[in-house]
Amino acid sequence: YTGMVLAVSAEVQCSLEADLLSEAANEAGCTRQGLNFELCERELLRDGAALAEALRARGWGVTLRGDPDCPLPFGAKARALYSELVLDAPDTPDPFLALQDGDRSPLGRRLLAAKAAGLVISAENVRTAAQARMLAMAGFDRGGGPFAEAGLR
């Protein structure tokens, strides 16, 4: 079972309050187990994690929309706040990205840290079945796009 994810626009993320989002989700009939709010990493770095913390305190799941230019560290706080990391799918991922002795690129280190923090890692825009299989080998758990289900399950 995969719940629904509501992407919060980066432009309005800093102006939203957890009470407002929580009330709107409840009014729409969403359950806390069935809905995650996707927050942008760059905005969290700029504005702080207050919105993420407040949503988690109200029982909602929080998905982190990764930004390759400003990665957050995945320490104990990240494990408590975020349940998933969403990244753009690399066109030609190295199948050794998520192996301890594998790729040492920023993306490889990011995947290892997210795995160690217990986050689900999702790739956006999976374009081919071959790419889906390679992403699964590289450590991605889920994907989006027309070929997402081809190899990530």
Q: Give the pLDDT confidence score for residue 1 in this predicted structure.
A: 46
Section 124-144 average pLDDT? 85
Label residue 9 by pLDDT band (50, 70, 90): very high
Residue 48: CB atoms within 10 Å = 11
Q: How far apart are CA 37 and CA 20, in angstroms?
A: 13
62 in Cβ contact with 79 (< 8 Å): no
What is the per-residue pLDDT across 27-46, written as a single tens digit (0 to 9) for each?
A: 999 999 889 999 998 898 88
Nearest 5°: CA angle at 69, between 64 and 70? 55
Confidence class of residue 18 from pLDDT cuts 50, 70 and 90?
Answer: very high
Residues 6+ apart with CB under 8 A from 32: 58, 59, 60, 61
User: With 50 as the cut, is the pLDDT of residue 142 above it?
Assistant: yes
pLDDT at 23 over 60: yes
Q: 62: part of which helix (H) or strand (E)?
A: strand 61-65
Alpha carbon 70 to chain centroid, angstroms: 14
pLDDT, tens only, 91-130: 776 666 656 665 567 777 788 888 888 888 998 888 888 8
Could you give the CA distance from residue 125 to residue 89 in angstroms, rounded to a whole number?
Answer: 6
Mean model confidence pLDDT for the chain: 83
| pLDDT greater at residue 74 or residue 144 | 144
Region 63-78 average pLDDT: 78
